[in-house]
Structure 1
Amino acid sequence: MRTATSTPLPVETIRFSDTLAAERIKITTLPATWIALIIAFGANTLLGVITATDIVRIAGQDGPIPIARLGTLMVAPVYVFIAITVFAAGSEYRGGQLRVSLAAVPDRNRLFAAKLIVSTAFSLIASIPAVLPGYVLQHAAAIRAGELRAGDVVVGFIASLTAYLLLGIIGHGFAVIAKTVVTPLAVLFITPVLISPPFQNTLPHMVKFLPHEAALSLLRIPVDPATALHPVAGLLVLTAWAALLASIAWKAFVHKDS
């Protein structure tokens, strides 16, 4: 005779809140989540100190360039941070773990929705400690000197969180489509370093619409005026990329995954 504790929980009784809770436990127990968060926090804080003290400058054609003007370097920590969403989405494809999740939650639409919601919410919450200390260090002196208004700093901080959030969603969608964690991290990291620069002069009107360049425009630190968008346009382009990757990933998860 079975006891209450040995009776399997019927699939029909699994609530959406239970699925959300399971995804929350998964993302918070992945070592990659906390490694990525710690590294992003440390890198942003270090960049904040370097920017505030101006102790390091990079040689340029017109003389030494302040670190704060190097957009790609200033947003580099985000490409470590997005490992949080990439691992949350792509790690289950190893060793057939996804089949276990589907056995518990056969409704693929519900399962994907839970994954995306938790990944997005955690990414937004985690971006605050990842970005805030470095951002405060970077702008504190300018605020004290009256060179920046507090309102502008708040808007800039919100823009930074938004860039982290949208790039995280892009990483999540890419990981589901690729069914791995390696490809999304490699492509998203390599594109702004090795792919965009060679085409900035020849195809600037195409490069400006890539996610990295759109994020830089949103943050008002474009690499080149030729690839710059208005911050609002940068936000819209980055949002479009996030919506596109999430939609394709949703369709792939529901119709193709096994």
Structure 2
Amino acid sequence: MFANAPTAVVRAELTKIRTVRSTTVPLLIALALSIGTGVLNGASARSAIDRHSPALRPDFNPLDAGFVGVQFGQLALIAFAVLLICTEYSSGMIRTSLAATPDRGLFYLSKIIATTTVALLTAVPTTLLTFLASQKALGPHGIGLTHPEAPRAITCACLYLTLISLFSLGVATTVRSTPLTLSLLLTHVLALTPAANAIPALHPAARYLPDHAGTEAMKATPSLPPTTALLILTTWTTASLLTGYLTLRTRDT
């Protein structure tokens, strides 16, 4: 019985994800938003290249263009991870969940495993389809899966989406509020990191922000070695999950 208990708890978490609309909708949005944005970006870049537009970035690389959509799709995966835990607090279901699984470590581990599983299963087709759609939209300027750097970049993109989801889960478990957590995470991704990248004096620090490090890993010419960039993101993710666990363990529901 005890040997099967962890499996049963993980299965219950996966069932929640499958049956609760608030957690499944962001996954579909992530796929649609990534592909849609990727196609629009690819078509825009193709037009700029064909017209020899000065608006085209001098460092344009078709490999990088294949992952612009993924960076927008991550917003939906962040929302998925936040809703996965915060809806339990807002609805009061956390009491039922902890009554069914009194071991908070096991409960939290099941959330982590479920998040990892679903995020990865979403990230793989999202990343691959977005890359292919973007390159198709680029037409003769696009590249294929046989490009030397494509497999590495696609793999890093999948890992990035999975890790940023887990990072968000840890933050959400600590904060426990859907609006506040989403405000913090989206402000970080949409405002803090771009601002740090735009200010030359902050460039050295920006390299070590979790989302910046993750996106660097999938670039054609990253400012950090991909393994180093993913290690930085993994460190942030581990710290976030650990903080979430300590919060869950020490606070009353």
Q: Please state which band the TM-score falls in when normalised by the shorter chain.
A: 0.7 to 0.9
Paired residues in the alignment total: 242
1:105 is aligned to 101
Q: Aligned equivalents of 2:220 and 2:182: distance in 1?
A: 23
From 147, 161, 167, the counterpart of 2:164? 167
Q: Deviations over 1:180-203 (max 9, x none)?
A: 222232222222332233333222
TM-score by length of 1: 0.81
Q: CA RMSD in A?
A: 3.2
In structure 2, the residue corresponding to 1:82 is in which secondary structure?
Answer: helix
Rate the CA distance shift 1:95–1:47 in 2: closer, same or farther, 3 A.
closer
Larger Rg, first or second structure (1 or 2)? 1
Cα distance 1:211–1:145, how it changes in 2: closer, same or farther (>3 A)?
A: closer
Counterparts of 2:103 and 2:27 in 1: how far apart (Å)? Answer: 31
Higher mean C-alpha deviation, range 38-47 or range 111-120? 38-47
Structure 2 counterparts to residues 147-186 of structure 1, below 5 A: 149-150=146-147, 152-186=149-183
Q: Summarize the alignment of residues 55-66 of structure 1 with structure 2, pairs less than 5 Å apart.
A: 55=46, 63-65=55-57
Aligned to 2:51: none
Q: Which has the higher helix share?
A: 2
Runs of 4+ in 1 over 4 A off after TM superposition: 11-14, 66-74, 140-148
Distance 1:50 1:30 in 2: 31
**Is 1:175–1:181's contact at 8 Å kept on the other side of the alignment?**
yes
Corresponding residue number in structure 1 for 2:20? 30
Residues 105, 76 of structure 1: CA spacing in aligned structure 2 closer, same or farther, 3 A cutoff?
A: same
Residue 116 of structure 2 corresponds to residue 120 of structure 1? yes
2:77 is equivalent to residue 77 of structure 1: no
Q: In the TM superposition, what is the alpha-carbon distance from 1:248 to its structure 2 partner?
A: 0.9
Structure 1 residue matching 2:91: 3-state secondary structure? coil
Alignment partner of 2:123: what SS?
A: helix
Question: How far is the alpha carbon of 1:255 from its aligned partner?
Answer: 1.7
Q: Which runs of 5+ in 2 are unaligned?
A: 49-53
| Partner of residue 206, structure 1 | 205
Aligned residue number for residue 192 of structure 1: 189
Alignment of 1:50 with 2:40, yes or no, is yes
Rounded Cα–Cα distance in structure 1 between residues aligned with 2:4 and 2:100: 8
* Equivalent of residue 239 in structure 1, options 234, 237, 240: 234
Structure 1: stretches of 5+ with no match in the other structure: 1-10
- Matched AA of 1:113: L
Equivalent residue for 2:224?
229
CA distance in 1, matches of 2:234, 2:250: 24
Q: Is the 8 A contact 2:119 2:162 kept in 1?
A: yes
Any idea what the Cα deviations from partners look like across 1:46-102, whole Å, max 9, x if unmatched? 233234433565xxxx63336966777751210112222211122111132111111
Distance (whole Å) between structure 1 residues aligned to residue 208 and residue 184 of structure 2: 16
Deviations for 1:208-227, whole angstroms, at most 9, x for unmatched residues? 111121112111168xx8xx
Alignment-derived partner of residue 4 in structure 1: none
